[in-house]
Every structure is written in structure tokens, then in C-alpha cells.
Amino acid sequence: MIFFNSIQTYIHNLSLPLILSVGVLTLAGFYFGKSMHFIRLPSIIGFMIIGVLLGPSLFGLIDLQSQEHLSFITDICLGFVALSIGIELHLTTLKQQGIGIILIILCESFLAFILVTFGLYALTKNLPLSLIFGAIAPASAPAGTVAIIQEFRAKGTLTKALYSVVGFDDGLGIIIFGFAAAIAKNLLAADPGGSTGNFWMIMLSPLKEIGLSIAAGIIMALIFGFLAKRLSGAREIFILTFAVVLLASGLSVYFHLSLILTNMVIGIVAVNVFPHTLIQKIREKLTDFMPLLFILFFILAGANLHIAALPSLGLIGIVYVLSRTAGLIFGSKIGAAIGRSEPKIRKYLGLGILSQAGVAIGLSLIIKQELSAFGPEGAAIGSTVITTVTATCIFFEIIGPILTKIGLEKAGEIAPAHN
């Protein structure tokens, strides 16, 4: 223990330049990720382990200040993940998937919300707290699912369905969160000491965010298309793509829009309006570029997963994990059955949508900040939500990618060479 503390103190006192730290993280993450293949686990598990080892929980090379300085990498990665999802959502493909994909998204999102809300209310008898947890439950982490699909070059109908679900369920999740949070706030405002607000204005907020995010995505896509007409080489196209994603992500952060939804809309407009040759050039370059982003993204995600939060999981965390898992898996099965989706989608899609991290933690931080205005009860709910969601994300970010890989293997959509 003394030896470990000495190493921790030494590393923490190194004060390495940030760019050198990024180099160390990339190198360590790359080789540790490759080592995961020997035990048949996805590379991103290795990236996250490196993040936990070098984060505040252990050696402290990525301390809280470094995490703050490097947070823009997370935004960039989420922007590219959203774009890569969007360019897979061709309207022709969605028509082929039929009403089933819409029913899957609706059923898995709403069943997760309902089961978590009822499960936690049965445990705590606290309706505002239960609604908040229920509202966060549908939020997924598309980066984990997309990373597995790209790493193992998965192809097939299940893969296409996963792209659709992890893309659109975040948009629906934001809407559910906005309305549920508005109801929770008004329940708290009804108590003595609560600061009241206009119910309908609060309810309008999520719809405004969704609408403006879609509008921003369409505008950025049209700008991209106008500029791309004058370019021909794949390298030039990718430079333009990179700039557009950074602009869209930056504007989303600045104006408090949905970064994921804005970039996803850019991809949707692009794949349905722009020439096929242009989309192929973007896809090819994204395939080469995104593995580097995934290394840094998941290392930083690992650094944010504080081991000290695990003991605080408690009964609330256990009920949240079980009810969310049941809601997503059984909801996807019900939606696929009603929509008459093919058998492998019914059986395995639910395994690919369990990951949860950035969006959920972001929503938790928003709630913690907003509920502080509602007296001691609001502050207590905010603290419970952020602590529990942070702890449960450790579980979902580890088990989610593993189950995604298992589902794709069982569906026969991962080539044998990549097993």
C-alpha cells in the first residue's frame, strides 16, 4: 500500500505537459486495447481500464483539471459518432426496416422509463426522484455500440437496426427527460420553500431544444453540401467534414442544443440528398479516423468512472440497473414482435443498446444544478442522481459493449476473422 501511494504521488507530481499526457494515453490505450483480443473482449474495455488506472481513482495522471481541459475531445468524438450514425440512416433502408424500427425505439425507451420510475417509487416512495431516474434511463451511449460495430466490421440487418435505434432513441430520450423533469420540478415547487416556475414554459424547453437542434443540423448540412460541390478529393472532403462537425458541435455546446442530434441530422440529410460517391468518401475516411478518437474518448470515460462511487450504489442503484436493463431488452423484443421484425433483431437487438455514459451523466449534472433551487429536498435528489448514475455507468459501460459483441456474433454479423 505504501509502495502504491508512493507511485501515485510521484505520477501526480510529474505535471506533464497536456500534449505529452495525450501521447502517453494514446500509446498505452492502443496496446492495452489490442491485448483485450487475447481474452476475446472488445478493445474499448482496455481503453476504459487504462482510463481508470490513470484517472483520479488510482494514479491521477488524468486529474480533474486535465479532464476539464480534455473535455473537448469527448464532444468531438460524440459529434463524429452522431455523424457516422446519421449517414447510415438512409430513408430507403428505414423503409425496408419498416414500422418495426419505430416501434422498437418507442417500446424500449418508454418501457425503460416506466419500469425504472415504478421500481424506484416502490422502493423510495419519492415520486420526483423516481421520475428523474426514469427520465435518464432511456439515454444510451451510442459511442460504445458504434465502436464495436466498426472494430469488428459488423454488417447485416441487426447492425443497421442498431444504428437506427441508438441514433433515434437519444432524441426521444431527451424529450422524455424534458417532460419528466418538468413534472418533477413542479412537484417539488408545490412543497414549501420550492421556487415555482411556469409549468408550460418548462415543458416547452425540451421541444425547443429538439427543434433547434434539427434546424441547426439541416442548415449545417446545406452549407456542407454547397461547399462540397467544389471539392473532389477524399482528403479535401474529409477536411471539410472535420470542420463542419467541429462547427456544429461547438455551436451546439454554445447554444445548449443536442450535440448528438445536430450532427446526426447532418448525416441524415447528407446520405439522403448528396451523391453516393461523396458519402462513400466520408465513410472511408471516418473508418480510418475514428479508432483514434475512440481510444481517447473511452480513456477519458474510464477516468471519469470513480471507483469510490461503487460502494454508494446501494439498493437504488441495483433497482435502477435491473429495471433499466429489463425495460430496454424486453421493450425492444415487444416492439420487434409487434412490428414483425426478423427473428435475430427480436432476439439480439436489446443486447446492443445497454451502454450508458456521457449523455446520462450530462443529464444528471443538469438535474443536480437545476434542483438546487428547490430547497434541501431538491439538492438531495440531485446529489443522489449524480452519484448513482455515475456508479451505474461503470457497470453499463463495461457490460454494454461486451453484450453488443455477443449479440452481433450470435446474429452472424461479425466475420469469423474478427471473432
Which tens digits make up the pLDDT trace of 144-187? 788 888 888 888 888 888 888 887 777 677 778 777 877 887 78
Considering Cα of 279, then 104, then 169, then 165, what sign does the dihedral take?
A: negative
**Residue 4 in grid coordinates:** 502504491
Predicted local distance difference test score (pLDDT) of residue 415: 67
| 120 neighbors 134 (Cβ within 8 angstroms) | yes
Predicted local distance difference test score (pLDDT) of residue 10: 44
Name all domains of the chain by residue range, CATH numbers in brackets: 71-297+313-418 (1.20.1530.20)
Tens of pLDDT, residue by residue over 45-82, are 788 788 888 877 777 777 777 777 777 887 888 788 78
Q: What is the mean pLDDT of the segment spanning 395-401?
A: 83
Tens of pLDDT, residue by residue over 229-277, are 888 788 899 999 999 999 999 998 888 787 878 888 899 899 888 888 8
Q: What is the mean pLDDT of the segment spanning 369-388?
A: 76
Q: What is the mean pLDDT of the segment spanning 25-42?
A: 81
Structure confidence at residue 115 as a pLDDT band (50, 70, 90) = very high
- The three-class DSSP label of residue 351 is helix
**Residue 35 in grid coordinates:** 491485448
Tens of pLDDT, residue by residue over 301-353, are 777 666 666 666 678 888 999 999 999 999 989 998 888 888 888 888 888 88
Whether residue 4 has pLDDT greater than 50 = no
Structure confidence at residue 9 as a pLDDT band (50, 70, 90) = low
Q: What is the mean pLDDT of the segment spanning 188-215?
A: 67
- The contacts of residue 43 (CB under 8 Å, 6+ apart) are 33, 34, 36, 37, 147, 151, 294
- How many C-beta atoms lie closer than 10 Å to residue 65's C-beta? 9
Whether residue 364 has pLDDT greater than 70 = yes
| 316 neighbors 124 (Cβ within 8 angstroms) | yes
Whether residue 392 has pLDDT greater than 90 = no
Predicted local distance difference test score (pLDDT) of residue 220: 94
Predicted local distance difference test score (pLDDT) of residue 201: 64
Q: Where are the strands (E) in 166-293, listed by range?
A: none
The Cα–Cα gap between 164 and 92 comes to 13
Whether residue 191 has pLDDT greater than 60 = no
Predicted local distance difference test score (pLDDT) of residue 418: 53
Q: What percent of the chain has pLDDT over 70?
A: 85
**Residue 98 in grid coordinates:** 419498416
Structure confidence at residue 193 as a pLDDT band (50, 70, 90) = very low
Predicted local distance difference test score (pLDDT) of residue 196: 46
**Residue 369 in grid coordinates:** 444544478
The Cα–Cα gap between 150 and 60 comes to 31
Which of 15, 1, 28 shows the shortest CA–CA distance to 61?
15
Whether residue 195 has pLDDT greater than 70 = no
- The contacts of residue 194 (CB under 8 Å, 6+ apart) are 188, 374, 375, 378
Query: Left if phi > 0, otherwise alpha if psi is -120 to 50, otherwise beta: which for 113?
Result: alpha
Q: How far is CA 180 from the centre of its chain?
A: 20
Whether residue 116 has pLDDT greater than 60 = yes
Predicted local distance difference test score (pLDDT) of residue 419: 53
Give this prediction's pTM. 0.71
Tens of pLDDT, residue by residue over 343-359, are 888 888 888 888 876 66
Q: For the CA atoms of 410, 327, 201, 142, what is the dihedral angle to 10 degrees?
A: -20
Whether residue 92 has pLDDT greater than 80 = no
The Cα–Cα gap between 419 and 417 comes to 6
| 137 neighbors 322 (Cβ within 8 angstroms) | no
The Cα–Cα gap between 228 and 333 comes to 41
Which of 307, 323, 327 shows the shortest CA–CA distance to 315?
323
Q: Where are the strands (E) in 274-363, listed by range?
A: none
